[in-house]
Amino acid sequence: MDDSSARPTKRDGMNMGTTRLQRSPTAVMLPTYKPQAIVDTIKKNGSLRSPKASTSSTTNPMIPPPPETSSFIRATRPTRNHSDPEMEVTKTQSKSPPTSPNLQLARTRTNKPPISNFRESHRSVSFFGTPFPKANVREETPAFSREVSQTSMSPSKMVNSAMENTYRERIMPHQRQTDALRKRYSQYLAKSSLKRSALEHIYELHEDWQSLDKLTFRTVILAFNDRYDLECRYDWTIGTLKDTLWAIMNEPCGAPSEYVLSVDGDDFLVNEDDTLGSIVYIHFCRKINLLPTFHVKELSEYHLLKDSINAVVGKRTRRTISHKEYATFTKNMNRVRYEKYLKRPPVQTNLLSDLYDEFYTRIYMRLGKSQEISVKTVQCRGLQTVGEFVDGLFIQYGYLIDKDVDPSDYALKFKGTEEYLIDFFKLMIEIKTVQEQLRARGKVDVILMKTQDITIPKWFQLTEFYDQNKFGEKVSSVKDSTIHIHNEVNPMMGANAKKVSIFKNSRTVSLVLKVTHIKDLLDREGIKFNPKQPVELFFTVSVKHYDTLIFQDNTQVAIYNGSTNSVQWPSLGLCPYNKLTYSSAVTFTLNCRLGRKTTPLAWVNRALVNYMSVVAEGKFSCKMWPPSDNREFLYVEPAEEGGPQMTYEIPPEDNNTINILPELMPLPSFQNVIPSKSDVTKMTQLFNTDPLYIPTKEERSMLWTYREYCSRNPISVLKFVWAIPWGDSKAVEEAYSLLTDWPLLPQPAMSLELLKPRFADKKIREYTVRNLEKISDNELSDYLLQLVQAVRHEMHPDCPLSRFLMSRALMNRAQIGHNFFWFLKAQLDETPETERYDMLLEAYLQNCGNYLAETFRQTSMGSSLMKIAAEVAVTERPKRKEVLTKGLLSILLPTYFQTIITPTQVAKGINIEKCKFMDSKTVPVWIEFENIDKIGDKFSAILKIGDDLRQDQLTLQMMNIMDNLWLKAGLDLKMIHYKVVATGPASGWVEVVEDSTTTAHIQKEAGGISGVFNEKTLYMWLKKMNPSKGELSEATETFIKSCAASCVATYVLGIGDRHNDNIMINRSGQLFHIDFGKFLGNAQMFLNIKRDRAPFVFTPDMAYVMGGIGSENFQTFVTLCCQAYNIVRREANTFINLFAMMLNTGIPELRSEKDLEYVRQAFALKMSEEEAARHFTSLIHESIKAKSIQLNFAIHLMAKPG
């Protein structure tokens, strides 16, 4: 954006302190109002507007004219072509750093005041915002050593730049430093004369906010078709900015209270008490040298946005967190909204370049004046970019399209979807849709169309390409992707409060306890209260870091005699402050002693460190859970009005001290202990154990002893986190420091093991997210379901994992954002974790732009269809079709809408004649949609009500990951991937695979039960569908590959209930399974008889298609099975981690780690690959000999003869 038109200009008759205000059609010149004058006027009169002044006047007598000699500090960054001598950093006389080993002092030449005077004038604040030790403050600044001097700035430059440059360089400097710079600076401090004294103060967050209040910046406000250029101050509130605008407008269209300011389209600035310096958008514009632009919108637009969000989210839960925490969460998610423009997801993994070096693409295009659709088949190379493909297409066929064809007037999109090929620098084979079409049909279908014929809005395409280029080249020149704004302070303390590290505070945490409605608690547990026999009550208080006990003690006994409804205990001393960590939680268990019997009445869990890493001091009221309610990871829950509640108070040390967990940690103090060869062997074996293995006490001690050795091995972190002694403050501080600089894991997926509930520590999560940031969107979409579930175990909603997911969802709404939305939507049931998912969903909708309108369409359409499906399910069978048709006719559909199954498929309506109900227990409804693409195929989906599809969703996800692993290894097993989206605990959508049928249907046509036992049944059907010899040979090859994939996948996942209605095949020979109600070795039972006895389904009729046992095709099948089995075995830890992350998520057959033992055994981790191949070969022969499979098929046909 060129903001040259917004700069102040010198005009005849005007002084330099004027600003040009652009209006349409003419421009009106008004004076620039000085910020201090405006602030003084508001303080004096309470408003900028005088009741006697006319609003139509171009000047306001209430605003004094600025003095001619006044000057302003420009806040805008200089461009790359502009050099300001006042903003240049200090330049050293010598280009090479000092080489003396004792760190010689290098003098600097500068036109600025000496550094010692400058520091004193600014309260001796260093680059990191912390006071330098007075004994070490010298006029000559120590320089870095040879190793450290390779950074871009020396210490003197850092101080000068941080204190004298722009506002962005001054605020929150401790956040700007990268990990490498932090490490180098720490090394420098450790070697220099400052040593540890300055290092101990690095984590103190000292902010010089008062000196920033006077800084100003320029902005543009668009209001009522006019443009206004203003110079504002960072300490202005939004209300002040509105008052200023209304004071200088000629003809305001109403009062300021009727309007609201917004930025970036729909980012509304509602709270008029917020300062401009706290708005993320302002700092984003400063970062990319862009002029901030505000829009004046009617308040009704903001209410419409909120109403739309409420309609999409549905029933809202009562807020259980403080308003301050919710506001901070919203602001941080808003920061992610803008930081996404400064990032680019990693390059997606190329899976099929070796398998599809060349392939054919069918182009649908309109030719000449007749505009007749012609289909051309062209050859495409997998490693060819989209731009090269388009250029070659126009060179070859451009003359047929138009005489004077201009390629820029055309766009390519995939047939049947609204997905466009717009990223000309991406390889064709890297596009996920290309991969899917190649594997499904062996070719790619695209449509060449004029851009003027595209009726779908650009945002509807959901491609990150538009977001990345929204701000043009200004974004590409920014290297640091962090937007720095004013840091939050403890709401209980002032901005000048002293921040003390809890690791340096040995004072004991004390608290006072009080419980109300004692009688209700006794009645709830069935204890009869007798006033003549008082009840003794006492608390057992324990502080834990997950399962590590840090402190435990009992309070004094309090007597309850029924005279009052509450009991209070005297002050109780907990553990010292330095024993606390990010994940420390206190558990209060209220016990009742009646005679000799002690009975627990209720309990409460509560986090001791709040969302700002500050010890939560003050008074808190909590709901008390019954002893039978095991909410192990729920730390915060509000008290219910009129019900039993516990109140506890942690009094602060004083009113000007904050006990905080520091962000920056000192250097580790360990000595380099070299392990022996035997210990190295033991640790190597320990590092190679599976994720379910828990290190012993001796192994944890060994890991901690050799922590310096472990810190050089990335994969050791997976076991090292078990060895951290959480009760030792110095050890925890050292572990945090090690995790800050721990090398990343060789494979990002390995970090999923660190997302277990026991590792819900902020520093561990930060390290985990640093690894996850390296994975592509393709891989992230495979793990997204588990990552969303992992949020439930976080201590607070605003966490590194939440920010990471929000960022990637906003960057790629088609592949990540769409599923992210529905994964969150499915969690909005009445569970304790509902609120944090509610907050994440609301934040996503607030920042996803115009995509909010589409989510509204999807949810409203889905709700209407669910009501119809529920009504059909309870209707008698003869009347179901009539009820279904009547209900579909009554729906008011939008002009176009995305399907919940696939966001790139856009429908323009429903083909009611083709819709039907299905004969099943829950009566699913088959819905056929009309494609908005005129030459695209129609598509269908099945809506299920009353079925929990989360287990199906998880199973298909695992199969998809297996297929990706096989493709990476160069093995294409022709798997069919159909999608399942669970919209709730008992509802969801299932994608329909066209041109496919069940093996039960094939067997019925072949004679029913006789067709089950006839080994030629399946072969004859394939031959009928593929009459030519070439087609049959190709279908047989596809069948062998897909059958191998199905056997391996169903065995590893322990899929049960495999009857012939759950196994399907299409005319191309692709075999696949559906309906995964049983998995992880849980078999279907009938009269206490296990129906699933074979390892997996492999019947004689399947072997006959291959040519029978002993044939060459059968040996190929066995080889493919063994190869596929060993490939997934290499990534066994990934599958175990993904299943472990789904524990306690409501899936009936996945509740504890015992349920994962089947997967552990199925992978046969102790076998070599040769032994595993022989093992799986024996399973194949065992399955084909098992008569129980065909017997189950026959029984199923008899049970369902229709």
The residues spanned by each domain of the chain are 4-73+212-313, 108-135+148-165+173-206, 358-476, 498-660, 996-1199
Selection from 738, 175, 726, 205 nearest residue 501 by Cα? 205
Where is pLDDT greater, at 541 or 405? 541
Dump pLDDT digits (tens) for 143-159: 323 333 333 343 333 33
Homologous superfamily of 498-660: C2 domain (2.60.40.150)
Selection from 955, 954, 950, 968 nearest residue 1131 by Cα? 968
pLDDT of residue 1124: 97
pLDDT of residue 1129: 97
Query: What is the DSSP code (8-state) at residue 275?
Result: B
- Region 552-573: mean pLDDT is 85
The rounded distance, in Å, linking the Cα atoms of 411 and 390 is 9
- Region 753-760: mean pLDDT is 91
pLDDT exceeds 50 at position 1176: yes
Of 456-460, 668-672, 909-913, 1007-1011, where does mean pLDDT reach its minimum? 456-460
Select 996-1199's CATH number: 3.40.50.1370, 1.10.287.3510, 1.10.1070.11, 1.10.645.10: 1.10.1070.11
* 582 band by pLDDT with thresholds 50, 70 and 90: confident
pLDDT exceeds 60 at position 106: no
Query: pLDDT over 90 for what percent of the chain?
Result: 33
The rounded distance, in Å, linking the Cα atoms of 1183 and 976 is 23
Q: How far is CA 771 from CA 762, 776, 869, 961, in A?
A: 14, 11, 43, 19
Mean pLDDT of the chain: 77
Selection from 783, 724, 745, 683 nearest residue 1140 by Cα? 783
pLDDT of residue 951: 92
Greatest mean pLDDT among 71-85, 343-357, 820-834, 1080-1094: 820-834
Contacts of 896 (CB under 8 A, 6+ apart): 456, 906, 907, 908, 932
pLDDT of residue 1085: 67
Angle of the 1132-1140 helix axis to the 950-968 helix axis, nearest 10:
160
* 976 band by pLDDT with thresholds 50, 70 and 90: very high
- Render 439-472 in DSSP notation, one character per residue: HHHSEEEEEEEEGGG--S-GGGG--HHHHHTTTT
Q: N- to C-terminal Cα distance for the chain? A: 67
**8 Å CB contact between 726 and 718:** no
Predicted TM-score of the model (pTM): 0.80
Of 28-37, 94-103, 433-442, 468-477, where does mean pLDDT reach its minimum? 94-103
Residue with tokens 């969107």, as numbered in its chain: 777
pLDDT of residue 128: 28
pLDDT of residue 834: 81
Dump pLDDT digits (tens) for 205-240: 233 333 444 578 889 999 888 889 888 888 889 999
Where is pLDDT greater, at 798 or 63? 798
Selection from 950, 1013, 1015 nearest residue 980 by Cα? 950
CATH topology of domain 4-73+212-313: Ubiquitin-like (UB roll) (3.10.20)
**8 Å CB contact between 916 and 928:** no
3 state DSSP class of 1007: coil
Copy the structure tokens of residue 601. Answer: 């009445």
The rounded distance, in Å, linking the Cα atoms of 794 and 807 is 18
The rounded distance, in Å, linking the Cα atoms of 118 and 110 is 12
Dump pLDDT digits (tens) for 653-668: 776 667 777 776 666 6
Amino acid at 389: F
Dump pLDDT digits (tens) for 879-888: 999 999 999 9
Question: What are 621's strand-pairing partners?
Answer: 647
Query: Cβ–Cβ contacts within 10 Å for residue 899, how many?
Result: 22
* 469 band by pLDDT with thresholds 50, 70 and 90: low
pLDDT of residue 1047: 97
- Region 797-813: mean pLDDT is 91
pLDDT of residue 313: 84
3 state DSSP class of 384: coil
pLDDT of residue 871: 95
pLDDT exceeds 50 at position 463: no
Of 248-257, 514-523, 1066-1075, 1190-1199, where does mean pLDDT reach its minimum? 248-257
Query: Cβ–Cβ contacts within 10 Å for residue 949, how many?
Result: 22
pLDDT exceeds 70 at position 990: yes
pLDDT of residue 652: 81
* 828 band by pLDDT with thresholds 50, 70 and 90: confident
Copy the structure tokens of residue 868. Answer: 């119809």
pLDDT of residue 152: 39
Scanning 340-431, the segments in alpha helix (DSSP H) are 386-401
pLDDT exceeds 60 at position 111: no
* 462 band by pLDDT with thresholds 50, 70 and 90: very low
Selection from 881, 869, 876, 896 nearest residue 989 by Cα? 869
Of 462-471, 657-666, 1163-1172, where does mean pLDDT reach its minimum? 462-471
The rounded distance, in Å, linking the Cα atoms of 1017 and 1101 is 7
Exposure string for 902-914, b = 16+ CB within 10 A, e = fewer: bbbbbbeebeeee
Which H or E run contains 929? strand 925-931
pLDDT exceeds 60 at position 578: yes
Query: What is the DSSP code (8-state) at residue 615?
Result: B
Of 439-443, 621-625, 901-905, 911-915, where does mean pLDDT reach its minimum? 621-625
Query: Cβ–Cβ contacts within 10 Å for residue 853, how many?
Result: 15
- Render 572-594 in DSSP notation, one character per residue: EEEEEGGG--TTEEEEEEEEEEE
Dump pLDDT digits (tens) for 874-921: 999 999 999 999 999 999 888 888 899 988 888 999 999 999 999 888
* 138 band by pLDDT with thresholds 50, 70 and 90: very low
Same fold, 4-73+212-313 and 996-1199: no
Scanning 262-351, the segments in alpha helix (DSSP H) are 280-287, 299-313, 323-339
- Region 1017-1040: mean pLDDT is 94
pLDDT of residue 139: 32
Q: What is the CATH class of 358-476?
A: alpha beta
Greatest mean pLDDT among 126-130, 399-403, 629-633, 849-853: 849-853
Dump pLDDT digits (tens) for 315-333: 665 566 777 788 888 888 8
The rounded distance, in Å, linking the Cα atoms of 1030 and 355 is 21
Dump pLDDT digits (tens) for 767-799: 999 999 999 888 999 999 999 999 988 888 889
